[in-house]
Structures are given as C-alpha cells and as structure tokens.
Structure 1
Amino acid sequence: MTGHETREQVQGFLHPKLNHQGQSPHVAEQMARQLKGENAAVRELLLALSVGFVLPGPLPADLQRKIDGGEVESVDALVERAESAGLLSPDGSVVGPAQHALLNAAPTTRVHSLQRELVTLYVEDRQPLGDFARELARGGLADPRVASELEHAGDKALEHDPALAAQLYDEALLAGADEMATAARRAQAAVADGDLDTATRMIDTLLVCPDPPDVRRGVDVASAVWAQRGMLDRSADAYTWLGAPRLGPSAPLAAVAAIGCGNRSGAESLFPANAPPASPTLLAVALAQTGKGILESLAKDPQQALPLLIHASDMLNATGAAIPLPDTPAALAGLIALHSGEPHLAETVCRSAAAAGQGGNAAKPRLFLLQAWSAMQQDKLEDARLAINEASKANHWPLVPRDEFLRAALEVGLARRNGEIAELVMAWERAREAMLHTSVDLYSLLPWGELMITAARLRETRRVAHYLDEALQLLGRLDNPPLWAVPFHWAAVQAALLGESPSDLAPHATALARAAQHSHLAAVLAAAGKAWVSVLAGRALPADAEAAARGLGRVGMPWEGARLAGHAAAHAAERKDMVRLLSCARDLHPQGSSAGNGASGVPESRSAPAADAASGTQPDDSGLSEREKEVARLVLEGKTYREIGEAIYISPRTAEHHIARMRRRLGAENRSDLLARLRMALGPEDPPQE
C-alpha cells in the first residue's frame, strides 16, 4: 500500500457501498489505478497468482530469479504488502476485482507465457491439468500439451458421456488439436447425441481425404448415420468401401448392415458365422454376438437368434458404451421377438436397453417406438401412446427419418385399431409423407406390413405397391427366411382379404403354409388365414374359427384374434355359435365391441346385424333389446359415447350405432325427443342407475 492511501480507501474500491460518496464507482477502473500504484513486484506476484500459480509453491522463473537475486523483496514481504492493500485473501487467492483488472491490463502474450510456464510445472510434476486445461483452452491458450490432455479426456468420456466428449474435443481444437485427427471421434460424439447433421458434415470432410485418419471409426459413424436416415443400403456400401482387411472389430456391424439390405453372401464374407470376437472384452463379444444373432435369424430354424441378441444387448447394457451402430442389439432383439410372436419379450428387452442408455441418446426414440409397437400388438393401446410420447421427447433433436417412419406407421396402426376412419385417413396421409424419406430394409418390414394393410383398407394399394415389391425382392435375395418373411406374408394375407383379391391372397397363403413346417407362428397364421377365408365365404366352422382366433391371441395378436372371432360371430348361422364366438372375441379384446366394431376393417353393415342377434335378445314390448336398455340407461345418465363404451365394454362407435338404431326404432326426431322416449320405454320399474 502506498503512503497516500489508507486501507479504508482500498476497501472502498472493493466494496462500492462503503464508498463515502454513497455512489457505486467503476470498481474495475479504480482497482486498475490502485494496482498501478503498487510496486512492480507485487503486481507481478498477483498476476502469477491470477493466472493459476499458488502459494506456497513454485513461482514464475523471472520473478523467482529477481527474488533470489535480491532485486525485489522476499515472497513473504510481497504477500504481506498485497494483503495489507486488500488485494490478496488470507487463503492466498487474489480478490475478484483485482484479478479481473490484472488479467485485463496484462498483455495477452504475457498471460499466455505465464500459462505455458504453469503447464510446464504440471507436466514436470506429472500432474493432470484437469478442468484447468478447459479454462486455458477457453481463454485462448494454444498449447499442444493442453490440446492433448483435452483429447485424452474426450476419449475417456466418448463412450459414456458423448455430450461432454463433444465439448472437450471442441476445446481441444481451441488449444490447437488437429481437426482431421479428431474428426471421427467428434462425429461419434455428435451422432451418439443425436446430432446427425453435424456428424455428417464432419464425416464427409474426413472421408474425402486421401488417407483419412481413424478411418474405421469414421465409417462406423457414417454407417450409423445412413441407417438412421432410413438408407441402410448406404450403410452397407460404407463398409464395402472400407474393405474387409480394415474392418477389424466392425465386421459384425458390417454384417448387420449387409443382411438388412438383403446381401447375405456379402455379410458372410465380411463376418463368417464362426468368426471369434475381435478381443475378449465385453464390448467386442457383444458386437460379435450381434452379428451372429442376425446371421442365425436367416436360418430355417432360427431358434438361437433371439438368445444371442438378448445376450448381446445385456452385455452392451453392462458396458454403458454409446457407440455408433447400424442398429442396437436391443432393437434387433425386439424386432426378432415381434417377428416370433413374443411382443411382451420385445417390450422387456427394449425397456431395459432404454433404461441403460444403450446406443446413447440417438437410440432412445427407436427403443421407445419398438416398445410402443409391442404394446400395440398386445392390444395395449394406451401404453403404446405413452411410449410414442416418450420417444418424441427422448432426444432434443427431431426424430430421424427411420424413427419418424416407424412412428407414422404406429399412428396408422393405432388408428386402424380404434376404428375411427377420419383418424385413420389423417394418419395415413402423414405416413405417406414419412415413407418418402426412407427405403425398404429387413428391419422395417413390420411398419411396411401395417401400411400395406391400411392401404388395402383405404383402397390406396397403388401408393405402396412398389415398396412391397422391393420388400418381396429383398426377402427373395435372403432365400425367404421364415422368421422375417412370415409376418410380412400375414400382413399381405390381411391386405388381400380387405381388398377381396383371391389372386393376391394365394401366394402369401401358400408361403405361410410352406413355412408352417418349421415355424409355429407360421402355422398359427396359416390357420388364421384359412379361417378368415372360410368366414368371408360363409362356410366357416365355429370351432375352427374360435381355435384360430385363440391361437392368434397366444402369439401376441389378441386384437387380430378378436377381429376374426367377431366376424365369425357375424356370419354364424346359429345363435349359440354367435354367443360362443362373441365370448371369445371379448376374452381377447375386452375393451372393444365384439363384432360391430368399426375397427375390424369391414363395413359396419356387414357385422352389426349378427352382433345384435348374438349380444343379447331381440327387442321386447318396450321396443328395446337388453343391450339397448343398457345403453339407454347410460344415455339418460348423460354419458358420452366413449363413457358408454367404457362402462359396458363396447367401442364408442358401437355405442353410437346403438343410439342411432334406438332413435329410428322409437321414432325420435331429435335428442330431447329421444331422451323422453327412452324414459317412457324404460318405465318406472327400470330407471337409470344412479
């Protein structure tokens, strides 16, 4: 402290409210003047401490030389002067305003020189820079040692916290890291976080280099990006470009991509079925199991495919690694479980993987959407909607084209099952747009099958015909593996039934019958298809129809089973058979109507009369059947169509149908007239329930 300034004056600089003028002066400017009044050695010490040097400990060489040579006071004396002036805290740190003023006033070259000297001390003592490296990089210090430490930190975070890794790599670039050398890792961090566009720009820049560094990782990222964009054939092309000699641990991923676009021989050349893991690590074994599981799924008897992929998913969950993949083992396991008639298992596997963060943020939406598909197939429509909502908010980026297409197909499937034609048409229009942004591959056959059925329902088959031809060609290139082909043939059978096209039905029915020799699911679906044909032809045996419907329920298709039973009831010749089949339909689909539900996909007029006959009695003296009396009581209670449906286990549309028929039968001209006539019809002995 100079002889002209008191401690109270300095405190006034540090605490403006203590200034005797009662006003807040510009603290930084006053502090700069105060520091200028101190001797050069005190300022030099304070600048070193502001940069990161600590007491007690080594000081900058220039200052230490002056102290050792007696040119300036001892360290203790300098510290005492700084503390007396209120510039240094008792813990040895420079007070905030003083530090800010010092760093602003000092030349940048001087600050960076001190920082490099400090980095040298860390290196010589073999101490990690830690977060200090991040501060140095953000402060503009270019130093290869700082860049190297930030790169190393990014590498450690890459597989478990890709968002942090991306920040560290960006800071490494600020510190002077090589842009091309880090491109593949930066792209991996971006794609794991769901930022496809950023990852694409980085990889495109890298892969056009004559000899790109870290090229295998770069191709892994490129393959994952293409797959998420719904262009799996481009994923396979990326690995073909890389070549088998350079694949290394990525060989199983190349097999997944190749098989997905129908190239079995290419997959086997890149990753033979008996290929050992690239190393004994958990991650390498998980990838090898994934490749083997997909190859096994093409067998005539693919029983080992699902266990292999579930094991791979469990191992990848345990590693916690978010690595670039054409598809996660959990998603592949879920698809195979769905294709095998085990939707509950698919839901469980995908839920566990999502909770473990398998594949990073980018994979979460797909895992949630597959959970939604599993729930939809099990006739748990509300659960399906909840899972779709989770998928939409699982990532801070928009859904990638592959996931957007899957979501659009789910919306179509839910609308078809709800039986609301307006909702179905709207969902179909959205799906038509989504399908323009993706292509057909083996792992998207379920949504394509759903769209095929809906196209037939809406008389829009021409919109999807060429996609379906591509799907059949793809299956043909793979020798029509039963596991993947059977559900697609079943969808084609349903589409042909809706379109009343026997010529379209025959080849798919034949394919199901042929596959029934090796596949239990195919046998069930073949029986169901045969029962449908018999029902629509008016020659079905009730026992056969019921057996086929309950078989569908046992393979995870209760809604499809209820549809079959309901239609069989509508065509049954005897009342006892109608009641039996309606009871079966209600067992399989308790929240829907039995046969009169518009969700069946067949016009109401076909099924409603039989439903009336089977669901209760014919009208009595009141003019109402027992079922209509149930509906009437609920109408008089003020219930909506949906509330009526929930109360007596029919669909809202069936409730509407009952009310319209009662209005016609009772001759009511409007709603108030209907309510009055319903009260008269029910009479005082049968009032509405309170």
Structure 2
Amino acid sequence: MARSGFRDARVAHALERAGDKALADRPALARALYDEAQGAGADEWNLAARRAQAAAATGDLDAAARILDDLFAQENAPDLRRATNVAASVWARRGMLHRGVEAYRWPGSGAAGLSAPLATVAMIGIGDRAGAAEMSASATTGDCPSLLAAAADLMGQGITHSLEARPFHALPALIRASDALTASGVTTAPLPDTPAALAALVALHSGELDVSLSVLDAAIAANQGGPAALPRLSLLRGWTLMQLDQPEPARDARSHALEAGVPLAPRDELLLHALDAGLARRTDDRPALVRAWKQARERLLHVSVDLYCLLPLGELLVTSARLRESSRLAPHLAEAWSLLTRLGEPPLWSVPLRWCAVQAAILTDRPREIAPHATALVHAAAGSRMASAFSAAGRCWMSVLAGTVDAAAVESAARELASVGLTWDGSRLAGHAAAHAEDRRDMARLLSCARDLHPATALVRMDGPHDAPTTSSAPPAPRPADATGLSPREREVARLVLEGKTYREIGETIFISPRTAEHHIARIRRRVGATTRSDLMTRLRVVLDGDNQD
C-alpha cells in the first residue's frame, strides 16, 4: 500500500517498527522499510538519523551525508546523538577523520555520553591527545551493561593504551572489543572503525601477524561491521598475508574486497593502492609498481593523514623512493611526523614508519637521513620487539653501505626482520650484503639466507655441491627462452638494464653477484644481436615493449 502512495499513520508506524528490527543486522532491508514508512506518512526528521545509519551501513556514504545535511539544518533536530555518530563514521570512512572529530564535538561539551570512547579513538587518530583525555573522562559507557557499550569502551581503552611506551594492554583490549561487538549481533553500529580493523592495525604495527590474521578471519566470518566493513577487513587481511610473504593469498583477499558488492570508501581505496604497490615492490614488478603509485598518489589528494593510515603511507614512502618521486609524498609525510610528535612519538605507531624512512634513505642514497630514524629506533628498542629488530638491521645496513660486511650480524638481523613480518626486507638486506661481501663464503652464506627468507625473489643457485662457492661466477643455465629469445631470468635482468641500473644494483635487486649480472647482460647482448650499449638499450625496448602494454 505504501508503495502505491497510500498514506496511513498505522501503516507508517508498522513499517517504521519493522525497519527498527532490521536495522541492527539487515541495513538494506531497514533502508527500504524506512523509505516506505516515510512515504506512508512517517515523520521525515524522526526517521532521518536511522535512514542515514542504514544508508551508511550499506556503503552509500553520499546518501547518508545528504540525509544528515538536511537533518542538521533543522532547528531542534531529533535523534541528534545517533546522527552525529553516523556523521562521524561517514567522515572517518571518507578519510577525513578530523571532520569526524568535529561531528563528535558538535552537540556540545559533556554531551558525548556513550559515544565518548568512539570520539576518543577519533581524537587520538588526529593527534589530539589532550582532547581525547578530556573526552574519555566524560565517558558514561561504564554505566551501561550492553555488549555494544562494552565494545566501544574497550576500543577507547585499547587505542589509549597504544600510545604508551610499552603498549602491552592495547592489543588485548581491542581483541576483547572485537569479541564484544561480534557477540552483540549488531553489524550496523556507526563507528570510526571496527574494533577488528583497529586490532589488526595494532597487531601489524607490533609484528603480530598471526594475531592480525586470526582477528580478521573471525570478524569476517561473523560479518562484523556488516557489508560496508567487509572491503576494509579483506584489504587488511591481504596486507597481513603480504607481510607473511604469501602474495597469491594476498591478491585473493584483495579480490574479495572488490567483490564485496560495496563501493570502497576513500580511505580504503588508499589502502588498496598501497597494497598493490607493496605486492608489486616485493615481486619486482615495475610496471605494476608505477601504476599503483600513480593511483595512490591521486588518492592521497582525497584523504587526510591520520594515525590509522600510517601503514599504507609507509609503503608509499618506500615506493616513492624506489621511483625517485619522494618529493610528491613530502607534504603527507610531514603531516604524519607532526601527528606523531603531538602524540609523544608512541613507539607502536612510529617505529614502522621510521623503518620505512630508513629504507627510503637507502634507496635514494641519502645515508645522512638515516641517522635520526636510527637513533629513534635505538631509543625505542627496549620496549618494542620491532624497534629492536629494525635497530639491528639499520646498523647492518649502515655497515654494509660503509663497505663492511659482518655476515653473522647481517644474517641475524635479516632473520629477526622476518620474525616480525618483514621477510622481504630481511631477504633484501641479506642479498644486498652478499653483493658487497668480499669473501666468497660470506657471499654464499648471505645468498642462502636471502633465498631462505624470500625464495620467490632469490632464484639464483650457487654452483657446486651443498651451495659451496666455486671460482666460476657465471650464472646457471637459463630456463627455456620465450618468443623474444630471452629466458625469464634474462628478461628480468633486461628490465633492470632499461631502468639504468649498474651491475652492482642489478645484483642487489635480484640477489646475485655483480659478476653474475655482467654475464647475464653479455648473454642478452649476444641473443639480441646488439653491438653497442645504445644499440642494446634500443633493442631491449623493442623486445620488452609487450610487457609495458597493459
């Protein structure tokens, strides 16, 4: 009847009640019922906050924002607390967490009530530690025994604990928050982020990859956050798998995020492109890396930097250095350092970004820029396993760059990096050191370590039994050539030649010695019939042109 234009208060009330029952876990149905209730004569403004909540829970952020804009323009707007919670959630998902904080503050001082812990999460996210403390003091969730209130309270506690020098209580609090939200059965609560996502971020920043995967798997299975949260949870799962050196499962998780049937929110688009960059960088896929960087660079213009986007920002820091475009990321990076300074440089959040800064300095050959980050890592090492691993690895990098290779120290540092989820970084350290080692036994030991940590990018075998070094530095026999006449390994070397890399740089990239790289290039020159270097470059561009046609 309502669909045909029939207006009746009883029908409107029945539809509204049905929408309320569906709102907790069936947002699409609730949205349709509220629309019909309004058509049947229900008060537009009394329904507005719930309609916005349902729209946001289905991923339609624009529709939710338009409903709220109209509601906020009304004098004495009803259901204001729900409306501001939804508005804050929408802004957070848009990647503008500072606007979400303003939404929490809008009703006035002391009016946050049960939303205070959520506001605390948002305020810490933008670096307002004093405001978060004030907001937390006004929280009244402890007076409410509901699972949803408990989840919110634990979220605020967990993020607050994450700022401590030894943040041991952060992850347990957020895991319990995730458990409480899942147990509540409510999938549409307007939150700045799901507790599972926050727990995963803290776990990733702590090197607890198995914990991250466990929390995310449980949340996805329980439909935590409903359909709107699934893409973000899936992308974080993909990030965790990438860190675990499982690129194909990571790509599967990425696909699940895109197939969730919900448009990606702007902050999650940034996470997607950073994940693409991370996967491309770890597989030395330069064309894919360039594409991902271009997309991420554009997406950065749509979002502001907050505490919960530091992981993708760190990946993009290394990517921009690899592509010699660090200047494009400089303003965003300055925001990140400023935010961390306002929060007192919490180790849990700052340590991974500092490690990325070390890697970027190495890639751009700016060793002087390593010093402040290395010093900060040393200071944080006492209370952070990741900082300890990064500090040891940083010392090894500095020694190798200075021409000194301590094979035992490098191997220990590389394996420690792998233990905190940075297998690729550990393999790269070992491979780089191998390329600089003067002793053939040290070279063999470090190449073996690189292959062991990341075999997908360390395919070169040492000649002789049991990987013992020999006097020959020629590369192993190549795998069968394709239609271009080059083997897969030769094509890989050819791409690096076109990038202008030297023998040593090629060796460092794919974990072979400079002499082996030289042999590969000599063989490539013979295969393509080049007589000079310029002729070689021209012929390689033709041969590999198909690789760059996407």
* TM above 0.5: yes
Note the C-alpha offset of 1:277. 2.6
Corresponding position: 1:365 with 2:231: yes
Aligned to 1:557: 422
Aligned to 1:328: 194
Task: Call closer, same or farther: CA 1:154–1:588 in 2, change over 3 Å.
Answer: same
Partners in 1 of 2:73 and 2:138 — Cα distance?
32
Q: For structure 1, which segment, 473-482 or 268-277, has the greater mean C-alpha deviation from structure 2 after superposition?
A: 268-277
* Contact 1:294 1:305 survives alignment (8 Å): yes
Aligned to 2:334: 469
State the Cα deviation string for residues 220-246 of structure 1 (Å, max 9, x = none): 110111011110000011111123432
Task: Call closer, same or farther: CA 1:294–1:424 in 2, change over 3 Å.
Answer: same
The partner residue of 2:488 within 641, 659, 662 is 641
Partners in 1 of 2:380 and 2:109 — Cα distance?
34
Task: Call closer, same or farther: CA 1:277–1:416 in 2, change over 3 Å.
Answer: same
State the Cα deviation string for residues 397-441 of structure 1 (Å, max 9, x = none): 3x1110111111111111111112232222211111111111100
Task: Call closer, same or farther: CA 1:585–1:662 in 2, change over 3 Å.
Answer: closer
Aligned to 1:413: 278
Aligned to 2:19: 154
Aligned to 2:540: none
SS at 1:210 equivalent: coil
Partners in 2 of 1:459 and 1:328 — Cα distance?
36
SS at 2:456 equivalent: coil
Corresponding position: 1:348 with 2:229: no
SS at 1:516 equivalent: helix
Corresponding position: 1:460 with 2:325: yes
* Contact 2:205 2:352 survives alignment (8 Å): yes
* Contact 2:378 2:388 survives alignment (8 Å): yes
Task: Call closer, same or farther: CA 1:554–1:420 in 2, change over 3 Å.
Answer: same
Task: Call closer, same or farther: CA 1:507–1:651 in 2, change over 3 Å.
Answer: closer
Q: TM-score, normalised by structure 1?
A: 0.70
Note the C-alpha offset of 1:662. 5.5
| Residue type at the aligned position of 2:108 | G
* Contact 1:196 1:225 survives alignment (8 Å): yes
Partners in 2 of 1:616 and 1:580 — Cα distance?
9
Partners in 2 of 1:667 and 1:497 — Cα distance?
30
The partner residue of 1:240 within 91, 101, 105 is 105
> 5+ unaligned residues in a row in structure 1: which ranges?
1-135, 597-608, 672-690
1:462-501 superposed matches below 5 A:
462-501=327-366
Aligned to 2:46: 181
Q: TM-score, normalised by structure 2?
A: 0.87
1:55-66 superposed matches below 5 A:
none
Partners in 1 of 2:470 and 2:521 — Cα distance?
18
Note the C-alpha offset of 1:172. 0.5
1:600-639 superposed matches below 5 A:
617-619=470-472, 625=474, 627-629=475-477, 631=478, 634-635=480-481
* Contact 1:180 1:206 survives alignment (8 Å): yes
Partners in 2 of 1:666 and 1:489 — Cα distance?
39
> 5+ unaligned residues in a row in structure 2: which ranges?
493-506, 530-550
Q: For structure 1, which segment, 586-595 or 558-567, has the greater mean C-alpha deviation from structure 2 after superposition?
A: 586-595
Partners in 1 of 2:84 and 2:95 — Cα distance?
17
* Contact 1:194 1:361 survives alignment (8 Å): yes
* Contact 2:112 2:139 survives alignment (8 Å): no
Note the C-alpha offset of 1:652. 12
| Structure showing greater Rg | 1
State the Cα deviation string for residues 295-332 of structure 1 (Å, max 9, x = none): 11111111010011011111111222121111110000
The count of residues paired between Structure 1 and Structure 2 equals 508
The partner residue of 1:213 within 56, 78, 90 is 78
Task: Call closer, same or farther: CA 1:273–1:378 in 2, change over 3 Å.
Answer: farther
The partner residue of 2:252 within 386, 406, 416 is 386
Aligned to 1:253: 118
Aligned to 2:96: 231
Note the C-alpha offset of 1:659. 9.9
Task: Call closer, same or farther: CA 1:302–1:652 in 2, change over 3 Å.
Answer: closer
Note the C-alpha offset of 1:512. 0.6
Note the C-alpha offset of 1:496. 1.2
State the Cα deviation string for residues 50-106 of structure 1 (Å, max 9, x = none): xxxxxxxxxxxxxxxxxxxxxxxxxxxxxxxxxxxxxxxxxxxxxxxxxxxxxxxxx
SS at 1:327 equivalent: coil
Aligned to 1:521: 386
* Contact 1:628 1:662 survives alignment (8 Å): no
Partners in 2 of 1:424 and 1:185 — Cα distance?
42
SS at 2:220 equivalent: helix
Task: Call closer, same or farther: CA 1:558–1:162 in 2, change over 3 Å.
Answer: same
* Contact 1:569 1:595 survives alignment (8 Å): no
* Contact 1:582 1:594 survives alignment (8 Å): no
Aligned to 1:395: 261
Partners in 2 of 1:273 and 1:572 — Cα distance?
60
Superposition CA RMSD, Å:
2.8
